[in-house]
Amino acid sequence: MATNVISSSQEYSSTPSPVQPSNSNHSSTVTRSYSAFDDEIPTVDYSLLFSDDPLQQSLALEHLGQASCKFGFFYLVNHRIPDTVLNNLFKGMTEFFDPMNLEERKVYGKKDPVDKIRWDINSSNSHGENREYLKVMTHPQCHFPSNPSGFSEVLNEYHREMRNIVVGLAKAMSKTLGFEANYIEKAFELESGFDVSAMNLYPPNHVSKGHVGIGDHTDPGFIITLTQDVNGGLQILSHTGKWINVYIPDHAILIQLGDHLEILTNGKYKSHVHKVIVANNEVQRLTVATLHGPSLDKVVAPALEFVDEDHPPAYLGMTYKQSLEAKGHDEIDVQSSLDKIRLPSA
Ligand SMILES: O=C(O)CCC(=O)C(=O)O
Ligand SMILES: [Fe+2]
């Protein structure tokens, strides 16, 4: 995979460097700054989490626990999704988003609360968005567009592989929290978990209509998996309060913790605000962000194990469905509702 204009020279981690300059094409009257640090993001080796060597496994779990607790996001490598699956995915997306087929995909643009597939371009939410996207439900049922030919098979394979990884991470993370391996699977009823995948196309800056691809947000759910064809513009607000640039190593997966893991662990494992800036991108960028959620009917509340006198419950309990609807959006357009669920004392 190629690299966008922000070069990614690091292997699986980067060293801190000075603040990136803001986009020089941008008018000096704009006060908002998009600069961010090139800070180190932890890398977790998926295969070591299941190593036969007990010492190696326990070191890998400790590292995962630290990455989850201190950061809330990390790169996942050695995850076993074959390169061909990722390459086919971006080939299929490139065909789907072909400018020549714009009229064809508008069929998914009509909004209905029961949509299982939705397409939109530069949607005007409160932040203003500068992306084209296709959102599909991928679990418990898959709903994929029938065109271009072969795309649904490619999507099916990608999401099947990804789900196995998510279940593996649920087991490993349960252990990092000191529980038996199936703790998170049970707490979220992951077997019937509700997953939505957003396939995003960010235009290069010469055709974009603004600097922001997606505005500041966190995502609901257990974890969010993200793959991409090129680097460019994803920034996460770190626990130290500074924006950091995300440069995902080739074929690695970015894992971000979702709001519902934060609720379950009463804030021990937190979701983090992130955004996408397209201002510096010379070429278009494709990403697949999949929100892996609890079962829609599962009430998610801070688990007793994380609540005591010093740590009172920080969030209200709600079913996943209720919390998705708390913002007035329908399921396919999942949005964070942490602000509605957070208790005043938190
Ligand atoms: O495309 C990206 O880099 C991030 C996408 C994202 O945050 C989302 O779809 O929720
Ligand atoms: Fe997101």
CATH of the domain at 305: 2.60.120.330
pLDDT at 183 over 70: yes
Start-end of H helices in the chain: 54-66, 83-96, 102-105, 151-176, 183-188, 259-264, 320-325, 338-341
Residue 299 near residue 318, CB atoms below 8 Å: yes
- The alpha carbon of 234 and the centre of ligand 1 are apart by a number of angstroms equal to 8
Residue 327 near residue 217, CB atoms below 8 Å: no
Output the pLDDT for position 211: 87
Instruction: For residue 346, tell me if it sits in a domain.
Output: no
Instruction: For residue 7, tell me if it sits in a domain.
Output: no
Instruction: For residue 49, tell me if it sits in a domain.
Output: yes
- The alpha carbon of 218 and the centre of ligand 2 are apart by a number of angstroms equal to 6
Question: Which range marks the domain in which residue 178 is found?
Answer: 32-341
48/304 Cα distance (integer angstroms): 30
Domain total in the chain: 1
- The alpha carbon of 217 and the centre of ligand 2 are apart by a number of angstroms equal to 6
Instruction: For residue 69, tell me if it sits in a domain.
Output: yes
Instruction: For residue 12, tell me if it sits in a domain.
Output: no
- The alpha carbon of 329 and the centre of ligand 2 are apart by a number of angstroms equal to 16
Output the pLDDT for position 333: 87
Q: Which two tokens stand for residue 335?
A: 């949005």
pLDDT at 127 over 60: no
Q: Which two tokens stand for residue 302?
A: 């801070």
Nearest to 315 by CA among 343, 345, 294, 340: 343
Ligand 1 neighbour 86 (Cβ under 6 A)? no
Output the pLDDT for position 27: 34
Q: Which two tokens stand for residue 90?
A: 């971006």
Residue % of the chain over a pLDDT of 90 = 75
Nearest to 32 by CA among 42, 23, 40: 23
Output the pLDDT for position 210: 80
Ligand 1 pocket test: which of 89, 93, 214 has the largest number of ligand atoms within 8 Å of its C-beta? 214
221/166 Cα distance (integer angstroms): 12
Ligand 1 neighbour 129 (Cβ under 6 A)? no
Output the pLDDT for position 22: 34
Instruction: For residue 263, tell me if it sits in a domain.
Output: yes
- The alpha carbon of 247 and the centre of ligand 1 are apart by a number of angstroms equal to 13
Ligand 1 pocket test: which of 216, 274, 334 has the largest number of ligand atoms within 8 Å of its C-beta? 274
pLDDT at 7 over 80: no
pLDDT at 15 over 80: no
Instruction: For residue 18, tell me if it sits in a domain.
Output: no
Residue 302 near residue 314, CB atoms below 8 Å: yes
287/283 Cα distance (integer angstroms): 13
Ligand 1 neighbour 235 (Cβ under 6 A)? no
Question: Three-state SS for 120?
Answer: strand
Predicted structure pTM score:
0.90
257/79 Cα distance (integer angstroms): 17
263/315 Cα distance (integer angstroms): 6
Identify residues whose C-beta is under 5 A from ligand 2, the ion.
219
Residue 196 near residue 334, CB atoms below 8 Å: yes
Instruction: For residue 20, tell me if it sits in a domain.
Output: no
226/91 Cα distance (integer angstroms): 16
The tens digit of pLDDT for each residue in 40-89 reads 899 999 999 999 999 999 999 999 999 999 999 999 999 999 999 999 99
- The alpha carbon of 308 and the centre of ligand 2 are apart by a number of angstroms equal to 31
